A and B are shown apart, each in its own frame.
Chain A
Amino acid sequence: MAIVKNDIELWLAFKDGSERALERLYKRHFPAMSRYGYRVFPDRLLVEDAIQDVFVDLWRRREYLSEVGQVQPYLLRALRNQLLRNSRHDAFEQAENIDDFLDYLSTLSAEQHSIDRETQLTRAQSVQNALANLSHRQREAIHLRFYQGLGLDAAAKVMGIQKQVVKNLLSKSYAVLRVTLKALISLIPILF
């Protein structure tokens, strides 16, 4: 019978040179990593390559890696960095600076957009539609928090920003969601 090891045990085994432990970590985290990677960069080849690089890199540096408290945020952070390194996507790099401005703009337009549509909203609107109105970075923060289940600190580390910035991204997201989801009031009991 296979003994189920937790992430930390696998991490230690892999640092000791167990390829099998690395493979198990890979298998365990691949779905979450690919979802996150794809959320950041919807480019299949780019994400596949970045995940490959992350694990090959981990293996090569295994002797120098420190022990980690949580494996998942570490992997997500590594993946995000790798994606950035591999892509040299100008727009994305600059986004760090003009991020707040873009988020502000997208919030405005999304709100305006939603209000315009609200009047003619007769059919049910799913959370999916609401999420589609979020900016890229808001969506990333939402994903890390509510799909990956990261705490605010961990999410901030993964995204490489201050905890307060994550909070801001999230509350702007809530604002967008609130407006979009108003139409749902009668359908599902979500109220702000």
Chain B
Amino acid sequence: MRNDYTRIEDFLNDDSFVSWVLTGRDDGYWRQFLAAYPQQSERLQKAQALVLEIRNNEKADLPPLNQRMVWAKISANLHDPEASVQESRVFKPGHYAAWQWAVGFVLMLGMSWYTWRTLPGGSITYRELSSSIREKNELIEKINEQAAPLRINLEDGSIVTLHQHSKLAYPRQFGDRNRNVILVGEAFFKVSRDSERPFYIYANEVVTKVLGTSFRIRAFEKEPDVTVQVSTGRVSVYKQRRIDLTDPETDGLVLLPNQEAVISREDENLSRRLVEWPQPVLKREFDTPPTRYDKAPASRILRDIETRYGITILFNDDALNRCYLTTTLTEESLYDQLDLICKTIGASYKEVDGQLVVESKGCR
């Protein structure tokens, strides 16, 4: 047993001593040492106090690093090594000087978005989504457990009506480039128009991008499908997945009013169809009376319906120009009206890819 400690420093430079203080290793040795050299006790205790003081100080504050998000990125990269090399090249050197908070937010978002897309197929949870978006802004989280819908006003004037058992996360202040929110469950969105800042809704693996419009999204974590239904405007929907190219929207669908997209979370299936109860797009702001048609050509009536519901109806103009009918279009459902018209003129209709096709042999 050596005893050449003449200063506190000598203890501090002794690996065994430091690790004993920090972890309790070599405890037997140091007990024996104290017993053998009681005159060292004061010096040793001071060294011990100093080491602990420094340790506690260094331990005091954990830098605000996001452990979960960093792992999410690592984990995504483990399966796709080439992507990670690319990512490193794109985002690495030189950028750091500029990586201040504002820019950083956008880039981090871009990176995390990239990472989601590189996730191999698997489902994306609310937690992963929110930890990725929670960057500059703390996210506000609203949960509606009540049967009554909850109305949420967002900073940009958009309004979200949140249904029961649903959750919306959104930043107090949206970014300069985009507006991102996360949805679990079902909600109706009325997004105020801002073509500079697209509005993105992340719901499970589905991204819905809009500029300004109204639509409904249903995306419960336990359900196999995600549904997006458009009331007005134009919405683009796509899945987040790895095989996406630079512009994931090319793989997506553009939805028009009264169309809905059903996205299967399991496979890559993305289908478009008409909603079950199409609603008129044109608001009857000043209570227009029901439109009455007196011996009008069927083609004209169908065009009117097209405009009213914002749905594309395909038919042969020449054939239907000569079909005349007298009818009144009221608040009845779209399909009831179509049934009536087709019955009268001896035609039939079907839905193909979110559009209606009316088939007729024409009228004599």
Query: A residues within 8 Å of B by Cβ?
Result: 19, 22-23, 26-27, 30-31, 34-35, 37-39, 42-49, 51-53, 55-56, 59-60, 86-88, 126-128, 131, 142-143, 145-147, 149, 151-153, 167, 170-171, 174, 177, 188-192
With both chains docked as a complex, state the minimum distance between the C-beta of A130 and any C-beta of chain B, in angstroms: 9
Please give me the residue from chain A that is nearest to B50 by CB atom.
A190
Residues of B within 8 A of A26 (CB): 71, 74
Inter-chain contact A52/B49, CB cutoff 8 Å = no
Query: B residues within 8 Å of A by Cβ?
Result: 7-9, 12-13, 15, 18-19, 22-23, 45-46, 49-51, 53-55, 57-60, 62-67, 69-71, 73-75, 77-78, 81, 84, 88, 91-94, 96, 99, 104, 108
Please give me the residue from chain B that is nearest to A26 by CB atom.
B71
Please give me the residue from chain A that is nearest to B53 by CB atom.
A127
Residues of B within 8 A of A49 (CB): 91-92
Please give me the residue from chain B that is nearest to A145 by CB atom.
B18
With both chains docked as a complex, state the minimum distance between the C-beta of B91 and any C-beta of chain A, in angstroms: 8
Inter-chain CB contacts under 8 Å: number: 127
Inter-chain contact B58/A146, CB cutoff 8 Å = yes
Inter-chain contact B57/A128, CB cutoff 8 Å = yes
Inter-chain contact B55/A152, CB cutoff 8 Å = no
Inter-chain contact B96/A47, CB cutoff 8 Å = no
Nearest 10 pairs between A and B by C-beta? Answer: A147-B58, A38-B63, A151-B15, A146-B54, A149-B22, A34-B65, A127-B53, A56-B77, A55-B74, A30-B67
Given contacts A35-B63, A45-B99, 14 further A-B pairs with CB under 8 A are A23-B71, A27-B71, A31-B67, A37-B63, A53-B88, A56-B81, A59-B78, A88-B94, A146-B18, A147-B54, A149-B22, A167-B13, A174-B12, A192-B9
Inter-chain contact B63/A44, CB cutoff 8 Å = yes
Residues of A within 8 A of B70 (CB): 30, 48, 51-52
Residues of B within 8 A of A51 (CB): 65, 70
Inter-chain contact B7/A192, CB cutoff 8 Å = yes
Q: Would you list 5 pairs from A and B whose C-beta atoms are within 8 A, ordered by A residue?
A: A30-B70, A31-B67, A44-B64, A86-B92, A174-B12
With both chains docked as a complex, state the minimum distance between the C-beta of B133 and any C-beta of chain A, in angstroms: 15
Residues of A within 8 A of B59 (CB): 35, 147
With both chains docked as a complex, state the minimum distance between the C-beta of A132 and any C-beta of chain B, in angstroms: 10
User: Which residue of A46, A86, A143, A152 contacts B13 across the interface (Cβ within 8 Å)?
Assistant: A152
Inter-chain contact B46/A52, CB cutoff 8 Å = no
